[in-house]
Amino acid sequence: MTAEHVRQTNDKRKLVNQFSKKLVVAVLSCAAAVASVAAPSVADDAASTEPKDIADRTSPPDPVSELAKQQGYQFDGIRYRNKDGDPQYVVTKKYMVDWGTWQGFRRYHDACHVCHGPNALGSSFAPALKDSLKTMDYSTFIATVSGGKKENKGGTMFVMPSFGEDRNIMCYIDDIYTYIKARSTDAMPPGRPNGREDISDEARKANDDCTG
């Protein structure tokens, strides 16, 4: 191959490369132009799907708080209370519960089930609190847990220790009460609740202040 032939071949390669680059640029420019026409912008798409008056949109009501309103329970910022001012459970048909009952479920199975059995069903050496709270009122429950109790049944002495100084119990005593009370009325079936409402800021602060 002569020197002239080599020079001509290199010139042809340069022309091909230049043409290829121009072709790629043209194709990309064309694709961008088509995309801008065919697809609306994000802002345009959002505007087309949102209602004109966004302020009229509301989130679905919370089923627990809605049920509490229907049943006439008051929320004091920490928990629901009945007309007597006692802590009150709220359990929906789908077994979603208020925060206090949820916390009570957890705390009961952390500290109480060892003696009184899972789901408050009792054991061979401690009664079923599910049955006890059918007749026991709130003040008696608090007094029993905090002060303890001794009871002779058929020559056997049953002893309920005092938990009045145990913050792991007393800081959550109202929660434990609402859970057991829900079990005593069969509003809450055995097992874990299917869901819960969120804890309020006041309830979180009260828990933190109590437990230190």
Does 73 lie in the same domain as 20? no
| Torsion sign, CA atoms 139, 104, 135, 124 | negative
Does 203 lie in the same domain as 159? yes
Which token pair is 11?
């010139």
Please report the pLDDT score of residue 22 as a whole number: 43
Cβ atoms of residues 90 and 97 within 8 Å: yes
For the chain, what's the residue count? Answer: 212
Does 25 lie in the same domain as 129? no
Separation in Å, CA 12 to CA 5, 6, 125, 191: 11, 10, 100, 81
Does 69 lie in the same domain as 172? yes
For residue 33, pLDDT over 50 is answered with no
The whole-chain average pLDDT of the chain stands at: 78
Does 52 lie in the same domain as 67? no
Does 72 lie in the same domain as 45? no
More confident residue, 15 or 111: 111
Please report the pLDDT score of residue 154 as a whole number: 79
Q: pLDDT class for 95, splitting at 50, 70, 90?
A: very high
What CA–CA distance (Å, rounded) separates 150 from 129?
A: 16
Does 37 lie in the same domain as 80? no
Cβ atoms of residues 91 and 101 within 8 Å: yes
Q: Which residues contact 96 (CB under 8 A, 6 or more apart)?
A: 63, 64, 193, 194, 195, 196, 197
Which token pair is 204?
């979180």
Reduced to 3 states (helix: H, G, I; strand: E, B; else coil), residue 158 is strand
What CA–CA distance (Å, rounded) separates 43 from 62?
A: 31
Does 109 lie in the same domain as 44? no
Which token pair is 164?
């009045």
- pTM comes to 0.70
| Torsion sign, CA atoms 159, 162, 166, 167 | positive
Percentage, residues of the chain above pLDDT 90: 62
Domain that holds residue 51: 3-56
Does 45 lie in the same domain as 76? no
Which token pair is 123?
């054991």
Please report the pLDDT score of residue 48 as a whole number: 37
The DSSP call for residue 118 is G
Number of folded domains in the chain?
2
Q: Which amino acid is at 131?
A: D
Q: What is the CATH number of the domain that holds 185?
A: 1.10.760
More confident residue, 20 or 195: 195
Last residue of a domain, one of 38, 56, 74: 56
Does 125 lie in the same domain as 204? yes
Does 148 lie in the same domain as 71? yes
| Torsion sign, CA atoms 69, 172, 133, 197 | positive
Tell me what the mean pLDDT of segment 58-74 comes to.
Answer: 83
Last residue of a domain, one of 31, 56, 81: 56
What's the pLDDT tens digit per position in 166-208? Answer: 999 999 999 999 999 999 998 999 999 999 999 999 999 999 9
Does 84 lie in the same domain as 52? no
Cβ atoms of residues 95 and 188 within 8 Å: yes
Last residue of a domain, one of 56, 75, 101: 56
For residue 3, pLDDT over 80 is answered with no
